[in-house]
Chains A and B, each alone.
Chain A
């Protein structure tokens, strides 16, 4: 499928971003050298060196990347090419790069790589390009050159400990409002706030109370119907998401994960069940926990897919009528390549939907939505680049549609954002749903 009215590569490179431009305007050549060299000596250890020196530029990673494929196999979008243009050049020049170079490298590392790690699977040496893009982003953070909208999100995380500038009273009020709404349907339903000793601590990401409060409602009904012993906190720590992980602000990642886990520990809850988000899972399970010194998450963290799987397997939730519209399934990077939840996802779909049509490629080979890795959070300036940079996703969806799929299920908020734009831009006419939407619709309540 051809993207309508694509801009030339040169035009795309002229995107103006306030965060990048104003950040770079504060920089001097000396500051760049000093920070980059300090980063290379303090944090760019054996792993970075091994990756850079091992890459033989074989190009096998290229066809793994949706940006490369969607931009007519332009090698500047290949994973090895992106490394060469960013951290590779920095290592080669021993940090002596210009301010303009930092601007270019910032745009590449933040908006042309979703850190989806598909390319890692195709590299004969297993080189983790996402690690190197994150290293580049960390340098950008240290230099104060970060795209405006994702930096604003990082500021929100630091000030409110949630992603969306949700104030403390607004959070609690939203829970109480959703409880009241749900009580019109189920008079005994509660959203138990601050229930010490509950088995489950349920956490969500900032956009849920801000824009998608019905998802909290739906999960409350699922918890109610399954007889779960659960709670949500009244204090910051309710948000499991983490855009600081994508801006390179690892100190703030640590702070956010500390608050999240310690809120559950304060309430003495046995495990954390989280909503349908991919990057948050990566943050609590693979990044923030380890930066703090926990080898694994200190409490079990259960993604919503695993939770639904468990409820259906144990017959704690029963299905009234399976969904009749044919569905397809988008495998989110962070919970499929990052956690292997693809078969559980399919179990839930087969339990709740009559007709399941596979998208190809699928499971750990699935193409990214192009929204993850903080790319969608870089905001409107990069929207078109992101959407045209994922034509292969549109092709995948169109193929599933040809086979009859009417609904795309994506159990991740970022994927929802990305796929929504793809469906609209390429005029695919498909409906997009969370797994929870479907479970809520077809379950016995």
Chain B
């Protein structure tokens, strides 16, 4: 595991690799991906007529494969990709394939902090998940909605436990789906099960389910809430007390429920994507208080600022005191913090990220085809053709910027550490 404190937080810029050169060498170079610490950049490349590999910092992995796709870096700064050899598939981490091979693998999930990896897999028409090269013992008719636990050591997914013949609507309505945690299915089947959540200690699992064609509720460890609703959205465990909250649809609008009881007084035209502060004291959610107007509500109090098109990517500062989101009005994308939108608008905006001390917010933005990092509404004057999300130093006084530049460093992937004092003047 790589600790963020151990990363190079010395101020300055380093050129890690020249992507233009990769293109000259390989011809076929797919979208590059950067490691969280910024020290590595990798892309799927064609190394021979029928052979693909991954080029990392200018050098190819030792192994090549018939096909490589879904290359991504995990939080431990190792690159993983889905690879095939003679029509069988597995995961290759830093170029080394897992020992087990399958007929197909997909939906790579990393733990949030460690290097554990889970994928969905299919072999002999049986479906299951694989975590760190260990397949589930039980297999199912289908698998979907794979979710990794916070550490990534566990995985849960929606699974189909009974077959359904073509157009057998009666069998479907008896319930053929449930959730399996590390391969163990809950005992009760449902019509449907969707978004899955783990608690922080990885001891409990919750999911959205449909009990009949029109009854929805939340299930925790296989046990449905007593109250049913016209619809529900993704449940979330409180980081502190183990309770589960979820948006639920009532006759008079959407509300937030906790363990089956309504806890927010307001009713919204829409309410979804709620998040907790780290200490569990505050909850923010995307809401529509009025048809066609969108904003953030923090502890059931909507901002005065609203957006016409949409709101996405809600964020709370670690102490929960501040909130931010991406909003869009009349086709223009914006970043809003604490109920006020930054002055500029963008062609696209990525999730706003708070510094650990909650004082600053940084976000990747795009305008006229050029990517720029913006901090507290002020753009940093370096232009990129590809940019990754910013990372604040543990003390919150520095910002790591990872990107492929234009201009003097055109095509070069650089890793830059700037001090906030330097950025903000």
Contact = CB atoms under 8 A, between A and B. Distances in A.
A152 B231 contact: no
A19 B142 CA distance: 25
Interface string A166-202: 0111001100100000000000101011111100000
A255 B191 CA distance: 15
B312 interface: yes
A141 B120 contact: no
Contacts of B191: 158
Contacts, number: 103
Nearest to A35: B214
Given A158-B191, A176-B69, A270 B347 contact: yes
Contact of B214 (A142, A176, A234): A142
A148 interface: yes
Contacts of A268: 348, 350
A295 B366 contact: no
Contact of A168 (B106, B164, B230): B106
Contacts of A167: 122, 127, 142
A316 B231 CA distance: 44
A149 interface: yes
A160 interface: yes
Contact of A169 (B120, B214, B230, B292): B120
Contacts of B194: 255
A142 B214 CA distance: 7
A158 B192 contact: yes
A144 B172 CA distance: 13
A298 interface: yes
Given A169-B122, A194-B70, A295-B308, A254 B144 contact: no
A280 to B, nearest CB: 20
A168 B122 CA distance: 10
Contacts of A196: 31
Contacts of A270: 347-348
A169 B128 CA distance: 12
A292 interface: yes
B192 A159 contact: yes
B281 to A, nearest CB: 27
Contacts of A234: 70, 106-107
A50 interface: no
A22 interface: yes
A293 B288 contact: yes
Contacts of B192: 158-159
Contact of A188 (B28, B106, B143, B270): B28
Contacts of A158: 191-192, 210
B101 interface: no
Contacts of A169: 104, 106, 120, 122
Interface in A211-249: 234-236, 249
Place the interface of chain A in its size category: 35 or more
Contacts of A197: 348, 366
Interface string B153-192: 0000000100010111110110001000000000000011
Contacts of B204: none
A261 to B, nearest CB: 8
Interface string B296-337: 000000000000111010000000000000001001000000
A252 to B, nearest CB: 9
A188 B30 CA distance: 11
A173 B312 contact: no
B169 A293 contact: no
Nearest to A297: B309
A300 interface: yes
Contacts of B312: 262, 265
B125 to A, nearest CB: 10
Nearest to B172: A155
Nearest to A175: B69
B61 interface: no
Nearest to A298: B310
Nearest to B387: A197
A168 B70 contact: no
Contacts of B67: 176
Given A19-B169, A152-B169, A236 B292 contact: no
Interface in A196-210: 196-197
Given A251-B230, A293-B291, A293-B294, A152 B167 contact: yes
B1 interface: no
B269 A293 contact: yes
A42 B251 contact: yes
Contacts of B177: 159
A301 B30 CA distance: 27
Interface string A284-314: 0000000011111011100000000000000
A283 interface: no
B100 to A, nearest CB: 16
Contact of B167 (A149, A160, A176, A188): A149
A254 B214 CA distance: 13
Interface in B353-379: 366
A263 interface: no
Interface centre among A159, A236, A299 (most CB of B within 10 A): A159
Contacts of A152: 166-169, 172
Given A158-B192, A293-B288, A236 B144 contact: yes
B255 to A, nearest CB: 14
B347 A249 contact: no
Contacts of A160: 142, 144
A177 B272 CA distance: 36
Interface of A: 18-19, 22, 42, 141-142, 144, 148-149, 151-152, 155, 158-160, 167-169, 172-173, 176, 188, 190, 192-197, 234-236, 249, 251, 254-255, 258, 262, 265, 268, 270, 292-296, 298-300, 379
16 contacts: A19-B169, A141-B214, A158-B191, A158-B192, A159-B142, A159-B160, A167-B122, A169-B122, A172-B104, A190-B30, A251-B216, A251-B230, A251-B231, A265-B312, A295-B292, A299-B310
Given A158-B210, A236-B144, 7 more contacts: A141-B213, A151-B169, A168-B107, A168-B142, A255-B231, A298-B309, A298-B328
Give the 3 A-B residue pairs with the shortest CB-CB distance, closest first: A295-B292, A293-B270, A298-B310
